[in-house]
């Protein structure tokens, strides 16, 4: 049963990674390079756990609306999206292979899915198969979608020489924070994360198409 839970934790992330990797069809990155960023995304869970535990110690055990907002948008979303951003900046951004806007999406999705894999495996150690399956079709895509949207702005920053990274981080934190806040409140509105994911999936898909077009028109592809 544990093996089944781990497989359910890992398979959705790899399927999404392959999906977004194949979307970079004009000038694809070396898969080994993408997997390297994926691996560092896994490692980024370690500082995330440490930072979140420290922040949680200051928040205490309360369940007020304000504390839940802080927990969702700061402790979870801001910390995790910032670490994914740091992973891309440290291990991909300055590489010569990062030469398209689309690469920003690919590398950031890779970092986010690495993070999601280990997070989901940790949940699989204590949770039931059902919980892991639900996370596989909601939490894992959430990481890829929120960070993928940020990745567009990372790529745009690299190619334009202007800074759009703060805007990308803001969007990622807002999407991630809303998702977590809806679940943290435990008010029976958990189903709202589905339309959130669907809407943001289409936003990311359109940004990916836009990135491909901009790369093609600029002659980068």
Indicate the domain borders of the chain. 2-216
Q: Taking Cα atoms as reference points, which of 17, 16, 23 lies closest to residue 206?
A: 23
Q: Taking Cα atoms as reference points, which of 104, 109, 108 lies closest to residue 155?
A: 104
Q: Is the pTM of this model over 0.85?
A: yes
User: Residues 47-89: pLDDT tens digits?
Assistant: 999 999 999 988 877 778 899 999 999 999 999 999 999 999 9
Residue 143 has pLDDT above 90, yes or no: yes
Q: Taking Cα atoms as reference points, which of 94, 104, 97, 136 lies closest to residue 119?
A: 136
Interval 24-49 mean pLDDT: 94
CB 193 within 8 A of CB 138: yes
Residue 3 has pLDDT above 80, yes or no: no
Higher pLDDT, 207 or 124: 207
Model pLDDT, residue 136:
87
Copy the structure tokens of residue 120: 């989901």
3-state secondary structure of 100: coil
Interval 171-189 mean pLDDT: 93
Most confident listed range (5-9, 131-135, 172-176): 172-176
3-state secondary structure of 98: coil
Most distant CA pair in the chain, distance: 54
């Amino acid at each position: 049963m544990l093996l089944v839970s781990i497989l359910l934790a890992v398979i959705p992330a790899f399927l999404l990674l392959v999906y977004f990797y194949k979307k970079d069809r004009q000038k694809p990155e070396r898969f080994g390079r993408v997997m390297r960023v994926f691996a560092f995304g896994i490692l980024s869970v370690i500082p995330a756990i440490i930072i979140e535990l420290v922040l949680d110690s200051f928040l205490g055990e309360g369940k007020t609306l304000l504390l839940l907002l802080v927990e969702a948008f700061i402790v979870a979303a801001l910390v995790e999206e910032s670490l994914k951003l740091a992973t891309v900046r440290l291990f991909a951004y300055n590489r010569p292979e990062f030469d398209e806007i689309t690469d920003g999406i690919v590398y950031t999705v890779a970092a986010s899915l690495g993070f999601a894999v280990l997070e989901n495996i940790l949940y699989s150690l204590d949770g039931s198969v059902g919980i892991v399956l639900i996370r596989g079709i909601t939490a894992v895509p959430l990481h890829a979608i929120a960070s993928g949207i940020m990745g567009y702005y990372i790529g745009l920053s690299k190619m334009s020489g202007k800074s759009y990274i703060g805007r990308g981080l803001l969007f990622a934190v807002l999407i991630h924070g809303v998702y977590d806040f809806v679940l943290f409140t435990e008010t029976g509105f958990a189903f709202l994360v589905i339309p959130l994911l669907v809407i943001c999936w289409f936003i990311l898909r359109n940004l990916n198409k836009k990135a491909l077009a901009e790369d093609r028109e600029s002659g980068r592809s």
